[in-house]
């Protein structure tokens, strides 16, 4: 497992440590993020500590109930020797504010894979879980997800330096204005642009194509996994609960027996315990599902980056095409040949050719345009190259993070399964108590 | 009950007498005699087996030491001393086994036969060992004969005779295996019964090369179907409370068994649906592994674990339907049989009371002595009562044994299932964690 001081030989002793709980495992992921040591995280500790229900009037002046989450900021070394930790700075945020922050980040850093938020509505639910946003279990899991989101942003070496993010954590009131003031909404690419880019790009970067494909595959397979997992949970719930029926009938049966009575009671009691244990087991498994969901939503972010790249590439190609066209026009003008059909060319043929002045003014206009075009292409090229290098750096970082996190998640899932097996039929305990109480 | 032997070493014995039953003098004297037999080792002392110890109320049953032994059974797993004590005086002398099913195909029909092996030292048998082949029909014949000739005894049940041709495959391995186990149990129970085991029909069944059965019109007792109703105009005055209690017990007991059977079947269904989903779950992990590099091995590992769990679950379900359910059902049949015997006993009592009343009336009129038939009836009823009580005790004892085995068996199978799963996941965790520390150390180097 990941420890604070890496490289120590103590780690070897951790092999086979199956007693680690899944929350501990999750904490290990958080520890990794803190380790990365962004300057932000070196200064402060971030928690989403609580959730509370509020009622208020919404934008259409109707009463609504919503949940707010308490963000706590503490200075990093706040626990002094033998002293109590300093009181944190706190503010309340609701989910929609988190969404706003994220949209801002998406637009402002299109070359970064922006961490996802926990789901807006409960999906992939098995039957006992409620899909209600106000359900306390859902709220709790969302709280954890929001904290995770903040920590991921805070541990990203680019994102953690963003001013708006900092204000999100520190300025309760004025934040909304500050975000809107950045004018980020104007930078949002239109859907139409993205789609046409996707369809018409001529030289897509192979790496990005592969990445997009991988991301789509991952999205499909994780969705499928979450769906099947929910069905498995449902069925398992059924198996456990039906066993509970044994409890009552064994108890009734024990009433008519003399020697066997105690043994049967004990068996019945055990069945009840068994049947009841499934609730906690499945609740814990939701943790695992949440970890998978995070990466499911991450695929959307990856896709965004790929699409942005496509768009840039497309724009570059357009600019190059435009430049090539203009150059050709100049050539035609210079050599007097009309290779490309143009209305002007046609009309001048039909209505007489232009004067020398006209030609020269046109030529200089085109040359001007060509200059601009060359600059545009260079700009786009640089933009594109910068984008590609920045994006690819983040992609590599993401890949590593993904591999590490998911592996951790799988380990903690396995550990969960082990603890479930251990607790369910405490073998010797049941057997001996049954034998002992079962007299002839 | 602690008994001090001659050497003043306490020997612990557990009596099978149920709580609340008085430890009668009869029982005590039987025990004493048994222990003295141990100290003066003469296991084949004819005096012992000829029932000098008991009064005449249960003639056939209580006299042999084996009956004594079956009443004074020893707690399994515990008190080794007591086990030793009884082992040396064990006079079980008839051992039977049913195994080796074979399919026979003839022009008329196809059927299964089973090998019935016998080992015995009894003089009623000519040879010490026998080996014959029998089919279900033959077992059925035996049971019918036993019911005819031993009307006051509880005859163990046979597995269901008729199976719906379309629904159940009569020649599938599972069906044959389950049936064979039930037949084996049936035969063993008969062979262990102090009265039934001496029945000449059993002897014929175990030894004859060809059973010359006369499937008379009389009684084709169809197992699992209900009762021959007690005809006749005799009304029962009052059923003795112990038999009432038996009747009530049997009603509740069979009801509970029915419920348990239903629950077990439901569990099997739920488990099967769970298994289906679990298989798909495993395959999704596998397909995910296909698009990953670093994560390929962990994902394949998880897929493998889930698949192992599937296999373990299959075994568990199979066990449940092959070992658990059949025993439950057998006891339902057993209960029905017992109820039947109770009814016959009631009939016997009713007959006696009827005749008695008639005789008393006549006596009042003309002072004739109590007719012989009335006395015979009384004897018959009292014999029946005694036999029934003895059989009831035996049945209760067997029932306790069987259910203890059954429930512990079920627990063991479940434990086994979870252990298999646990082992699979544990080895995966070890592998994955090793890789982690490998990575960590290579990272820091």
Chain B CB within 8 Å of residue A222 CB:
yes
Interface check A438 vs B, CB under 8 A: yes
**A228 and B418 in contact by Cβ < 8 A?**
no
**Chain A residues with beta carbon closer than 8 angstroms to that of B287:** 221
CB contact under 8 A, B400 and A224: no
Residue A25 lies in a domain: no
Residue B286 reports pLDDT greater than 80: yes
- Determine contact: B241 vs chain A, CB below 8 A: no
- Residue B106, pLDDT above cutoff 90: no
Q: Which of A274-288, B233-247, B340-354 has the lowest mean pLDDT?
A: B233-247
Residues A170 and A92 in one domain: yes
One domain, residues A254 and A115:
no
Using the beta-carbon criterion (under 8 Å), do A15 and B430 form an inter-chain contact? Answer: yes
Looking at CA atoms only, how far is residue A242 from chain B in angstroms?
A: 6
B71 touches chain A (CB under 8 A): no
Same domain, A192 and A219: no
Identify from A214, A241, A410, A429 which residue to disrupt to test chain B contact, counting B C-beta atoms within 10 A and taking the largest count. A410
Confidence bin at B75 (pLDDT 50/70/90): very low
Q: Do B75 and A439 touch (CB under 8 A)?
A: yes
Contact yes or no for B407 and A267 at CB 8 A: yes
CB B407 within 8 A of CB B29: no
- Residue holding tokens 């059909």? A341
Confidence of residue A5 (pLDDT cuts 50, 70, 90): very low
Percent of chain A residues topping a pLDDT of 90:
39
pLDDT band for B159, please (50, 70, 90 cuts). Answer: confident
Please check whether residue B180 touches A, CB under 8 A: no
Best A22, A29, A222, A228 member to test B by mutation, with max B CBs in 10 Å, is A228
A218 and chain B in contact, CB less than 8 A = yes
**Which residues from chain B sit within 8 angstroms of residue A221, using beta carbons?**
284, 287-288, 291
**Inter-chain residue contact B281 with A11, CB threshold 8 Å:** no
Contact: A440, B400; criterion CB under 8 Å: yes
Instruction: Specify whether A90 is located in the same domain as A239.
Output: no
B77/B24: higher pLDDT: B24
Q: What is the pLDDT of residue B72?
A: 41
* CA–CA gap between residue B303 and residue B323 (Å, rounded): 30
For residue B277, what is the nearest residue in chain A, using CA coordinates? A232
Distance in Å, alpha carbon of A150 to nearest chain B alpha carbon: 26
Boundary residue ending a domain (A166, A196, A226) = A196
The partner residue sitting opposite A11, judged by closest CB among B249, B287, B440, is B440
Q: Does A425 touch chain B (CB under 8 A)?
A: yes
**Contact state of A414 with B408 under an 8 Å Cβ cutoff:** no
Tell me, yes or no, whether A251 and A286 share the same domain: yes
Per-residue model confidence (pLDDT) at position B366: 73
> What per-residue confidence (pLDDT) applies to A77?
67
Q: Is A16 a domain residue?
A: no
Whether residues A130 and A177 share a domain: the answer is: yes
**Residue of chain A whose alpha carbon sits nearest to that of B407:** A267
- How many domains is chain A built from? 2
Question: Contact A417/B407, CB-based, under 8 Å?
Answer: no
Is B288 within 8 Å of A221 when comparing Cβ atoms? yes
pLDDT of residue B167: 66
Q: Are residues A284 and A387 in the same domain?
A: yes
**Pick from A217, A242, A263: which is nearest to B266 by CB?**
A242
pLDDT-based confidence at A127, cuts 50/70/90? low
Residue range A364-390: average pLDDT? 90
Question: What pLDDT sits at residue B445?
Answer: 55
Does residue A361 lie in a domain region? no
Hey, is the C-beta of B278 within 8 angstroms of any chain A C-beta?
A: yes
Contact status of A210 with chain B (Cβ, < 8 Å): no
* B-chain residues near A233 (CB < 8 A): none
Rounded Cα distance, A410 and A288, in Å: 8
DSSP annotation string for A299-349: HHHHHHHHHHHHHHHHHHHHHHHHHHHHHHHHHHHHH----S--HHHHHHH
Is residue A17, in this structure, part of any structural domain at all? no
Assess whether A217 and A190 both reside in one domain: no
* pLDDT surpasses 50 at A300: yes
Is A4 an 8 Å CB contact of chain B?
no
Domain CATH code at residue A312: 1.20.1270.60
Q: Say how far apart CA A239 and CA A217 lie, in whole Å.
A: 33
Which residue in the block uniquely carries the two structure tokens 């479940």? B414
More confident: B155 or A121? B155
B442 at A interface, C-beta within 8 A? no
**B302:A413 CB<8 A:** yes
pLDDT of residue B269: 94
Domain-terminating residue out of A176, A196, A216: A196
Mean pLDDT, to the nearest integer, of B308-325?
Answer: 92
Query: In angstroms, what separates the C-alpha of B29 from chain A's closest C-alpha?
Result: 21
The range of the structural domain enclosing residue A155 comes to: 35-78+85-196
In chain B, what residues touch A253 (CB-CB under 8 Å)?
A: 252-253, 256, 260
Q: How many CA atoms lie within 13 A of B5 on its CB side?
A: 16
Do A92 and A138 lie in a common domain? yes
Say yes or no for a CB contact (<8 Å) between B430 and A224: no
B189, pLDDT greater than 70:
yes
Task: For residue A259, give the nearest of B18, B288, B295 by CB distance.
Answer: B18
Q: What is the mean pLDDT of residues A384-410?
A: 94
Same domain, A215 and A268: yes
- The verdict on a CB contact (< 8 Å) between A214 and B291 is yes
**Whole-angstrom Cα distance, residue A378 to residue B205?**
104
Nearest to B16 among A235, A239, A440 (CB): A440
CATH number at residue A60: 3.30.1520.10
Q: Which residues contact B5 (CB under 8 A, 6 or more apart)?
A: B11, B35, B39
**Chain B within 8 Å of A226 (Cβ-Cβ)?**
no
**Cβ(B28)–Cβ(B72) below 8 Å:** no
The residue with greater pLDDT, B10 or A332, is: A332
Residue scoring higher pLDDT (B391 or B163): B391
| Chain A residues within 8 A of B418 when measuring between CB atoms | 421-422, 424-425, 427
Q: Does the pLDDT at position B216 exceed 50?
A: no
Q: Is residue A3 part of a domain?
A: no
* Chain B residues in contact with A433 (beta carbon < 8 A): none
Task: Say whether residue B404 is in contact with chain A using an 8 A CB cutoff.
Answer: yes
Residues 284-313 of B with CB under 8 A from A: 284-285, 287-288, 291, 293-295, 298-299, 301-302, 305
| B208, pLDDT greater than 80 | yes
The answer to whether residue A112 is domain-embedded is: yes
Contacts of A256 in chain B (CB under 8 A): 249, 252-253, 256
Are A43 and A188 in the same domain?
yes
Please answer whether residues B142 and B134 qualify as being in contact, where contact means their C-beta atoms are separated by less than 8 angstroms: no
Question: Does the residue A11 lie in any domain?
Answer: no
Does A237 lie in the same domain as A116?
A: no
Higher pLDDT, B240 or B72: B240
Stretch (H or E) spanning A66: strand A63-75
Last residue of a domain, one of A165, A196, A227: A196
Q: Using the predicted structure, report yes or no on whether residue B353 has a pLDDT greater than 90.
A: no
With CA atoms as reference, the chain A residue closest to B250 would be A256
């Amino acid at each position: 497992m990941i420890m604070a001081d890496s490289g120590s030989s103590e780690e070897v002793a951790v092999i086979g440590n199956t007693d680690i709980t899944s929350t501990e495992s999750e904490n290990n992921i958080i520890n990794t993020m803190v380790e990365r040591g962004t300057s932000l995280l070196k200064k402060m500790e971030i928690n989403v500590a609580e959730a509370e229900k509020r009622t208020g009037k919404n934008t259409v002046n109707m009463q609504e109930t919503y949940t707010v989450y308490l963000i706590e900021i503490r200075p990093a070394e706040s626990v002094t020797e033998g002293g109590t930790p300093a009181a944190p700075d706190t503010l309340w945020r609701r989910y929609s504010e988190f969404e706003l922050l994220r949209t801002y980040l998406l637009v402002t850093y299109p070359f970064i894979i922006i961490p996802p938020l926990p789901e807006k509505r409960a999906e992939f639910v098995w039957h006992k879980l409620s899909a209600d946003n106000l359900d306390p279990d859902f709220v709790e899991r969302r709280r954890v997800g929001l904290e995770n989101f903040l920590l991921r942003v805070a541990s990203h070496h680019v994102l953690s330096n963003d001013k708006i993010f900092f204000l999100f954590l520190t300025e309760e009131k004025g934040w909304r204005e500050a975000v809107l003031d950045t004018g980020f909404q104007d930078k949002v690419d239109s859907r139409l642009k993205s789609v046409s880019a996707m369809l018409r790009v001529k030289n897509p970067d192979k790496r990005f194509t592969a990445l997009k494909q991988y991301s789509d595959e991952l999205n499909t397979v994780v969705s499928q996994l979450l769906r099947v997992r929910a069905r498995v949970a449902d069925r398992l719930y059924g198996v456990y609960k039906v066993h509970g029926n044994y409890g009552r009938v064994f108890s009734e049966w024990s009433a008519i027996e003399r020697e066997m009575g105690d043994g049967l009671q004990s068996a019945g009691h055990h069945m009840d315990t068994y049947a009841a244990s499934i609730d906690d087991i499945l609740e814990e498994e939701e943790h695992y599902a949440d970890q998978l969901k995070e990466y499911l939503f991450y695929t959307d972010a990856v896709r965004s980056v790929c699409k942005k790249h496509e768009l840039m590439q497309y724009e570059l190609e357009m600019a190059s095409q435009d430049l090539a066209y203009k150059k050709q026009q100049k050539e035609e003008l210079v050599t007097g040949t009309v290779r490309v059909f143009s209305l002007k060319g046609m009309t001048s043929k039909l209505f007489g050719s232009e004067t020398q002045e006209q030609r020269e003014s046109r030529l200089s206009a085109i040359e001007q345009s060509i200059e601009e075009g060359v600059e545009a292409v260079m700009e786009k090229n640089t933009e594109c190259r910068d984008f590609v290098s920045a994006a690819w750096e983040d992609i590599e970082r993401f890949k590593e993070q993904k591999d590490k996190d998911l592996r951790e998640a799988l380990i903690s899932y396995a550990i969960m399964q082990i603890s479930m097996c251990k607790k369910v039929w405490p073998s010797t305990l049941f057997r001996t108590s049954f034998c002992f109480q079962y007299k002839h | 009950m602690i008994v001090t032997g001659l050497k003043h070493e306490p020997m612990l014995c557990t009596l099978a007498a149920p709580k609340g039953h008085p430890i009668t003098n009869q029982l005590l004297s039987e025990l004493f005699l048994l222990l003295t037999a141990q100290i003066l080792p003469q296991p084949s002392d004819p005096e012992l087996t000829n029932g000098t110890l008991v009064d005449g109320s249960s003639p056939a049953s209580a006299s042999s030491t084996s009956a004594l032994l079956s009443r004074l059974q020893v707690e399994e797993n515990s008190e080794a001393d007591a086990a030793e004590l009884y082992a040396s005086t064990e006079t079980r002398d008839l051992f039977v086994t049913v195994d080796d099913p074979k399919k026979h195909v003839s022009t008329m029909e196809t059927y299964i036969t089973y090998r019935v092996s016998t080992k015995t030292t009894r003089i009623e048998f000519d040879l010490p060992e026998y080996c014959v082949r029998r089919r279900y029909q033959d077992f059925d014949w035996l049971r019918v004969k036993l019911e005819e000739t031993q009307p006051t005894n509880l005859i163990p049940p046979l597995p269901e005779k008729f199976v719906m041709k379309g629904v159940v495959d009569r020649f599938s391995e599972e069906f044959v295996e389950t049936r064979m186990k039930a037949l084996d149990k049936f035969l063993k129970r008969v062979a262990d019964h102090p009265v039934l085991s001496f029945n000449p029909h059993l002897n014929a069944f175990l030894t004859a090369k060809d059973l010359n059965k006369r499937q008379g019109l009389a009684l084709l007792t169809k197992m699992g179907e209900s009762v021959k109703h007690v005809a006749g105009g005799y009304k029962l005055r009052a059923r003795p409370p112990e038999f009432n209690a038996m009747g009530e017990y049997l009603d509740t007991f069979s009801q509970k068994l029915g419920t348990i059977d239903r629950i077990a079947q439901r569990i099997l269904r739920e488990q099967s649906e769970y298994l289906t989903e679990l298989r798909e779950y495993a395959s999704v992990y596998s397909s995910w592994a296909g698009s990953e590099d670093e994560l390929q091995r962990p994902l394949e590992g998880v897929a493998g674990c889930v698949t192992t769990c599937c296999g373990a679950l299959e075994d568990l379900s199979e066990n449940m339907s092959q070992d658990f359910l059949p025993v439950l059902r057998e006891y339902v049949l057993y209960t029905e049989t017992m109820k039947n015997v109770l009814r016959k006993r009631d009939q016997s009592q009713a007959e006696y009371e009827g005749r008695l009343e008639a005789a008393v009336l006549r006596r009042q009129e003309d002072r004739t002595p109590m007719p012989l038939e009335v006395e015979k009836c009384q004897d018959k009823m009292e014999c029946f009562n005694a036999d029934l009580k003895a059989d009831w005790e035996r049945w209760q004892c067997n029932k306790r044994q069987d259910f203890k085995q059954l429930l512990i068996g079920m627990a063991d199978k479940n434990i086994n299932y979870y252990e298999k799963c646990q082992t699979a996941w544990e080895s995966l965790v070890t592998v994955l964690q090793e890789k982690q520390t490998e990575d960590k150390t290579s990272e820091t180097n």
